[in-house]
Structure 1
């Protein structure tokens, strides 16, 4: 199912797609995986802290919904404004700026005692998250060979739920003792460590270097950088840079909406909007739902952790399923099963054991299927517009992520039953599955 070296997916004219991956390439993928902890930490730290914040500050569910959505609003803006710069300024530069912003936002919330300031800091943190999310997917794809590309892009997305699991374990054990501020201070400290990791080890990809060569005066410097990178990838040096592809699309929104990519771009935007809507609603509200159902704080947090255990397993699996059965078929199948499991949750009398089991399956199929969008995007767009394509897709999707938790809060405060809410929020999964299925590309 993988693409040849010079096609739409892998635009580098130096063919490394069939070579074994070097230790350095695996390190780059591992850094992307670790950076994706930030997204899981960011979303779930608010989710797991929500009951403590509500109790301490006397917030309504609607007000808490605004806290959820403030971070998502920042992510959306970051995807639109910051992530596309990675196609112009480089992946490493965007990582440094974005992770630095995340660290400032997390540490600020850890010291915050004002609702308005909390909203502003959550927005700032989201801005940084929005900058790194699309860039991680592009970077992981560009440092992977043909054999492992889909698998690695999927594995990087497993960093999201693993970050969430670690956050849940910390919150369950330490928030009752040290308060919710402690969780944000620790998360901010971890972001500082990640920033140092990027500073000392991360580099731009070969695809990016070659696509950014725009003037002959840069050729000598670019050739030196390319050969330095090739040496780290256990590849032979080159005597001259390959010929620039004159028909390569230029970074920016016009390329995404041009004749070649317009239909698939609009289709994947619709799918991302509805997929994000359900995914972020579940991730944001599941611990609170469990607590409202009568479970103690530790068990309710455990339900949130179980959701992310399933999500980690599903995220790690979707790339392998996509390579074996095709991404379109795999995403559609995952979403159909996720829809069915949510109906079982809605209409079956629940015991604590059954809640844990069903939530595990929901996490596996909802997030596993959703994360099929990342290897899909890496195949739809060439390197020159890949971060832009992923960035705008995530940005459009984040609009659904903002709407979902907020709408859930309004409906819940309005007396709509959990059963009805689960049915309503399972429907967007079908929309996303059908959208990915309808994409037209020989790479999928």
Structure 2
């Protein structure tokens, strides 16, 4: 049995959880960055004399950068390696955050927000793959779910930090702290983060065998005599975007993109517009803000629940269930606003389910592609998903101006999320490389 197969069926070792933990920290930085701008937007607008639409463009700049980063840096990671790309992307994010603190106007700040987003996009594409590859088959869903939950933790910390720092030092201090933290994380990653085993196996250069065996020793596995390419490694040229549409992959790629786009549309719709729409529907400002907090609270818990469920059942059916549940509860939620307690409970459940959907897609995507194009496939899926994230608040605002009610907007978003469930139902994922019985036997032997 090669090293990749042993990782799939063996218990998770501390070093593997450490790798997942490093990926979680990187996703925390993503959440911090997004909420830091959200909480400082009003102060920035007052400082630079910006209109509401100009502030909206600034908030979108980071999302555009993330989409471009995932689309462009994902394929590059398949060529130069996941580890170098993560280090480069974290460096870009740190630089963009630091430069944001020095911005003298909206144009400069928008440029630095795009740079920060580029780095975060590269981070997301590569860390999703790293976390997946170093996780066992049984605990892969939980590992990715914990990784996904890091966003909510970072968003909470970013909001708290922004409130405290702005009161004493102004909005620029929020970005200074973010840059310092990102720089420290870069040093930690340089010391502890390994390269992808699948990438080393696929590349097969002189010295890669020694690197693989050093990693094997750290995760408690015996050394290997030679590099063994993982299943599917021979399929496709390294980092070529066109390989995503090759015979046998076209259908899976398009369905995965549809699922990412629809899910991220729903995710950003409920997280961006819920407080405003509830206020429009008749709730007070405090009640609407509380409902928004319920979504965030549910999101962190939901990601973990999804991971625990996938340790017992296959990812795709659980993900379909979460997606259909999200759509149904979105309809129930907006209809229940006259009953506050019910609405708050449903808000928690929606946050849990829609975040679980994101965790599920991050778990599913790496399994669809061979090592030579894995980060390319994941990066493009994330990039397409970010397009949905960008469109959701823009489309909602336009429809709201066009006279749509809160109920109509929620019904429409629920219909779009349902499209994700249909795409996932039609998607056919690769079969597991080992049976449950084989896994149990190997685990017992180890």
TM class, shorter-chain normalised? 0.7 to 0.9
Check conservation: 2:217, 2:223, Cα contact below 8 A: yes
Which structure 2 residue ranges, 5 or more long, are not aligned?
A: 433-446
Q: CA deviation at 1:333?
A: 1.6
Name the residue aligned to 1:235. Answer: 221
Name the residue aligned to 1:31. Answer: 22
Residues paired across the two proteins, number: 428
Name the residue aligned to 2:440. Answer: none
Q: CA deviation at 1:304?
A: 4.3
Partner of residue 188 from structure 1, selected from 159, 179, 183: 179
In the aligned structure 1, how far is the partner of 2:399 from the partner of 2:54? 13
1:203 match: secondary structure: coil
Name the residue aligned to 1:443. Answer: 431
What is the aligned-residue RMSD (CA, Å)? 2.7
After the TM superposition, which residues 67-146 of structure 1 pair with which residues of structure 2 at under 5 Å, given as runs?
Answer: 67-146=58-137
Is 1:259 equivalent to 2:250 in the alignment? no
Name the residue aligned to 1:49. Answer: 40
1:325 match: secondary structure: coil
Distance 1:433 1:244, change over 3 A: closer
Q: CA deviation at 1:164?
A: 1.3
In the aligned structure 1, how far is the partner of 2:245 from the partner of 2:236? 11
Name the residue aligned to 2:314. Answer: 326
Is 1:295 equivalent to 2:281 in the alignment? no
Distance 1:310 1:178, change over 3 A: farther
Name the residue aligned to 2:235. Answer: 248
Check conservation: 1:80, 1:391, Cα contact below 8 A: yes
1:423 match: secondary structure: helix
Partner of residue 161 from structure 1, selected from 145, 152, 170: 152
Q: 1:305-337: CA deviations, max 9, x gaps? A: 432221111112223323433322222221222
TM-score normalised to structure 2 length: 0.87
Check conservation: 1:92, 1:203, Cα contact below 8 A: yes
Name the residue aligned to 1:18. Answer: 9
Name the residue aligned to 2:437. Answer: none
Q: CA deviation at 1:161?
A: 1.4
Distance 1:340 1:244, change over 3 A: closer
The range that moved more, 325-334 or 245-254, is: 245-254
Distance 1:150 1:235, change over 3 A: same
2:7 match: secondary structure: coil
After the TM superposition, which residues 413-424 of structure 1 pair with which residues of structure 2 at under 5 Å, given as runs?
Answer: 413=401, 416-424=404-412
In the aligned structure 2, how far is the partner of 1:284 from the partner of 1:353? 21
Q: CA deviation at 1:35?
A: 0.8
Check conservation: 1:61, 1:409, Cα contact below 8 A: no
Name the residue aligned to 1:340. Answer: 328
Is 1:398 equivalent to 2:389 in the alignment? no
Distance 1:340 1:175, change over 3 A: farther
2:328 match: secondary structure: helix
In the aligned structure 2, how far is the partner of 1:40 from the partner of 1:397? 16
Q: CA deviation at 1:125?
A: 1.0
The range that moved more, 32-41 or 241-250, is: 241-250
Check conservation: 1:43, 1:284, Cα contact below 8 A: no
